[in-house]
Amino acid sequence: MPVPPPSAAADRCRTVTGKVLALLAAFGPDTPALTLSELARRAGLSVPTAHRRVSELVAWGALERGPDRRLRIGLRLWEVGSLAPRGLGLREAALPFLEDLYELTHENVQFAVRDGLEVVFVERIAGRHAVPVLTRVGGRFALHATGVGLALLAHAAPEVQEQVLAAPLPAYTSKTVTDPMVLRQMLADIRRDGYAVSDGQVTLDALSVAAPIFSADGTAIAAVSLVVRADGAQPAALALAIRGAARGIARALPTLRQPC
Amino acid sequence: MPVPPPSAAADRCRTVTGKVLALLAAFGPDTPALTLSELARRAGLSVPTAHRRVSELVAWGALERGPDRRLRIGLRLWEVGSLAPRGLGLREAALPFLEDLYELTHENVQFAVRDGLEVVFVERIAGRHAVPVLTRVGGRFALHATGVGLALLAHAAPEVQEQVLAAPLPAYTSKTVTDPMVLRQMLADIRRDGYAVSDGQVTLDALSVAAPIFSADGTAIAAVSLVVRADGAQPAALALAIRGAARGIARALPTLRQPC
DNA sequence: GCCGAGTTTTCATCTGGTGAAAGACAACGT
DNA sequence: ACGTTGTCTTTCACCAGATGAAAACTCGGC
């Protein structure tokens, strides 16, 4: 079997903390359970070293051993992670509005934040009969393809936009916009209209309409979107509901930046 | 203040890994943002040591610095935590059914698993007009008080039940059952009826009806509940819907087995 | 019973971690 | 403006915890 990541994290592995983090980072959506040997290899550690660190992590609850002796992320780590203000904190405020959107449309409702040059999905309500989407809670995507990503990018700092536009833009489908000039115009339109549309840029049959959520200081800290079947979709009509939800969420935001 | 003999938290703090975990554990629902000094004190570390470990954690994304220089749990840690099979994995399977329950009733819908002798809430859909509840996603509660806790306890291994019954049972309200004999009878009733009722045992005005979710091998791995206003509630009627949802979730479960 | 992959322990070596103390910085209160 | 206070960061000499190699152990499978 091939080893997906050769050793991109070798630089950080000199310190003990780096090794612990490498162990945690070895897990992914596609590999939620690993044997000790696999884990050691992925983290770039010797087996005995991995064994020692893993023992401590298991004792604490950061990792769990299944009946098959394989290692998984533990409930305790999930618990701590759920204290992230940009994770559950935001989600908590947004959920009622996402519920409303779902109840109204029974389509996919998505909620995401920006981290670096990627969009991270914080919540996803998947309609059982709605169009299938690739996204996953906790998953990442390029900013320029998804609806939420475009909404966040359009209202991000100019430096961020330039970085994205300067880097090569990966294409997921034939309709993914990869031309920086076209993208630049799209971002301007998004700022003018107050919402973003991604038509078939992630999967050909899906269309996403997204709106940014602004915090009190005017920065776009999150975005909400509806993903519907591409044919026959009426973006402008959906945008009304989505922008309304976005405003509602903004109003319900906990004062994250309070100085105290 | 004089340097006191380090309290009970010092045993795990000898190793570097223990210190890193102590830093993470210093955060809690009531203290989601800490200064470096506070963090060091809570973790039982010297300030320079905390500073070094924290720097690495921030560089990796496990922690984040706010504009106020305070430290918070980072999005990256939330991401990794969301890979926990008993966290998001379960949630993913359950959410559509929880949605249905919510749409049907617009009351509080809760979804929880057992960890040791406590119940951990994995998902909560809070109706905006429903009765307020104390629970929080990622939060813990004693097994014997909440509806989900009772459902899980009733179908847990006998050793677990004995441990809970042997320990002192904290009371949250005047209606919290704290008599082991009464509780034992309640658990038998829950097994007979297929659902649990917690009437005012957490907050006096709330009543919770819960049903366990069984995995393929017959163990109760999670529970789902509805929390409604206590007066005028019809537990038996709600139980039908909840048991139906529980069965649906069980059917949708990914084939994963509970560790331990 | 033998084998092999995966896991755990041992041991001598040494590298990365440690606290104290001092320096740098920002935010008050007078 | 000035000193004060609290927090954050850096320095340095010392050492405790971490390390890999190799060996011992544990399981299933044949």
| B8-65 residue pLDDT tens | 344 456 899 999 999 999 999 989 999 999 999 999 999 999 999 999 999 999 999 9
Let me know whether B102 and B155 are in one domain.
yes
Let me know whether A52 and A21 are in one domain.
yes
**Would you tell me how many other CB atoms lie within 10 Å of the CB of residue B210?**
31
CATH number for position A173: 3.30.450.40
**A211: helix, coil or strand?**
strand
| pLDDT score of B115 | 94
Q: Taken in order A222, A228, A232, A237, is the CA torsion positive or negative?
A: negative
A55: nearest CA in chain B?
B17
A119: nearest CA in chain B?
B75
Q: What is the pLDDT of residues A27-64, one digit of tens each?
A: 999 899 999 999 999 999 999 999 999 999 999 999 99
A181 burial type by CB count under 10 A (0-12 exposed, 13-18 middle, 19+ buried): exposed
* Contact assignment for B18 to A138 by CB distance below 8 Å: no
B28: nearest CA in chain A?
A83
Residue at A218: amino acid letter: G
User: Any CB–CB contact under 8 A between B222 and chain A?
Assistant: no
Of B80, B115, B143, the last residue of a domain is B80
CA A168 to each of CA A189, A199, B130: distance values in angstroms, whole numbers, following the listed order: 22, 20, 49
Q: What is the pLDDT of residues B90-101, one digit of tens each?
A: 998 999 999 999
CATH number for position A12: 1.10.10.10
Predicted confidence (pLDDT) at residue A254 exceeds the cutoff of 80: no
Contact partners, residue A216, CB within 8 Å, separation at least 6: A253, A255, A257
Let me know whether B21 and B42 are in one domain.
yes
Predicted confidence (pLDDT) at residue A1 exceeds the cutoff of 70: no
Predicted confidence (pLDDT) at residue B131 exceeds the cutoff of 70: yes
Predicted confidence (pLDDT) at residue A68 exceeds the cutoff of 90: no
Contact partners, residue A84, CB within 8 Å, separation at least 6: B64, B72, B73, B74, B75, B77, B78
**Would you tell me how many other CB atoms lie within 10 Å of the CB of residue B12?**
17
Which of B20, B84, B126 minimises the CB distance to A75? B84
Q: Is residue B120 domain-resident?
A: yes
Predicted confidence (pLDDT) at residue A169 exceeds the cutoff of 70: yes
Give contacts of B20 with chain A, Cβ < 8 Å: 16-17, 20
| pLDDT score of A164 | 96
Q: Is residue B1 domain-resident?
A: no
Q: What is the pLDDT of residues B156-172, one digit of tens each?
A: 999 999 999 999 999 99
Q: Which two tokens stand for residue B208?
A: 């919770």
- Average the pLDDT over A141-162 and give the result: 96
Q: Is residue A68 domain-resident?
A: yes
| pLDDT score of A258 | 37
Let me know whether A55 and A155 are in one domain.
no
Q: Is residue A1 domain-resident?
A: no
Let me know whether B223 and B110 are in one domain.
yes
CA distance linking residue A240 with residue A220, whole number of Å: 18
| pLDDT score of B5 | 33
| pLDDT higher at B5 or B129 | B129
| pLDDT score of B88 | 84
Distance A123 CA to D28 C1' (A): 43
Q: What is the pLDDT of residues A90-123, one digit of tens each?
A: 998 999 999 999 999 999 999 999 999 999 999 9
| pLDDT score of A205 | 93
| pLDDT score of A144 | 96
| pLDDT score of A127 | 80
Predicted confidence (pLDDT) at residue B259 exceeds the cutoff of 60: no
Residue at B123: amino acid letter: E
B213 burial type by CB count under 10 A (0-12 exposed, 13-18 middle, 19+ buried): buried
Of B80, B112, B137, the last residue of a domain is B80
Instruction: Quote the mean pLDDT of chain A.
Output: 90
Q: What is the pLDDT of residues B203-239, one digit of tens each?
A: 999 999 999 999 988 899 999 999 999 988 899 999 9
Let me know whether B94 and B211 are in one domain.
yes
Predicted confidence (pLDDT) at residue A256 exceeds the cutoff of 80: no
User: Any CB–CB contact under 8 A between B182 and chain A?
Assistant: no
| pLDDT score of B13 | 62
CA A234 to each of CA A199, A231, A241: distance values in angstroms, whole numbers, following the listed order: 11, 9, 12
Domain membership of residue B92 as a residue range: 85-255
Evaluate if the CB of A219 falls below 7 Å from strand C.
no
Predicted confidence (pLDDT) at residue A235 exceeds the cutoff of 70: yes
CA distance linking residue A181 with residue B39, whole number of Å: 47
Q: Which helix (H) or strand (E) holds B226?
A: strand B220-229
Of B80, B95, B112, the last residue of a domain is B80
| pLDDT score of B87 | 87
User: Which of A146-155, B26-35, B247-256 tops mean pLDDT?
Assistant: A146-155
Predicted confidence (pLDDT) at residue B130 exceeds the cutoff of 90: no
Please state the domain count of chain A: 2
CA distance linking residue A62 with residue B49, whole number of Å: 21
Q: Is residue B133 domain-resident?
A: yes
Predicted confidence (pLDDT) at residue B193 exceeds the cutoff of 70: yes
Which of B17, B59, B72 minimises the CB distance to A84? B72
Let me know whether A73 and A90 are in one domain.
no
Q: What is the pLDDT of residues A181-207, one digit of tens each?
A: 999 999 999 999 999 999 999 999 999
| pLDDT higher at B187 or B1 | B187
User: Any CB–CB contact under 8 A between A219 and chain B?
Assistant: no
